[in-house]
Amino acid sequence: MFKKTTKSYTDLLGKTNRIVEGTSLKGDIISPADFRLDGELIGNFQSKGKLVIGPAGSVIGDIICQNADIEGHFEGKIQVQDLLSIKAQAKIKGDVLCNKLSVEPGAEFSASCVMKPHVKTMVNNGQSTEEKTA
């Protein structure tokens, strides 16, 4: 009569990935879940969730995600579908495309920035395209 569905182990944990301080990765990361990066990534990052770059974290490459909080270093192109929050100790260089932007006093923000409401970032086979919604 009633079907009991079992949740996967990652569903129970909240689907958050984490790369700890002192870890260095070279390559691309694709994740459907939220992600916290306190280590170093040299490569591209793509997620349908939220990316947090911690105070010791750094990314050199391109980022596509739903939301992002940056406390560490970022250099490259970042596309955030909703809110990009840049904390006071952050250092940003590159290109920014987002819907909403929050920059705390003290942050280093050396980037070209385009804020476009109602823009979705679509990714097809590694190629990103922009689609305006009405």
Residue closest to 66 by CA, chosen among 18, 27, 100? 100
Q: What is the C-alpha separation between 107 and 87, in angstroms, rounded?
A: 6
Is-above-0.85 flag for pTM? no
Mean pLDDT of 65-69: 96
What is the C-alpha R_g of the chain? Answer: 16
Which residue type is seen at 24?
Answer: S
128 pLDDT band (50/70/90 cuts)?
very low
Mean pLDDT of 15-40: 93
Mean pLDDT of 41-53: 96
**pLDDT beyond 50 at 132:** no
Mean pLDDT of 44-61: 96
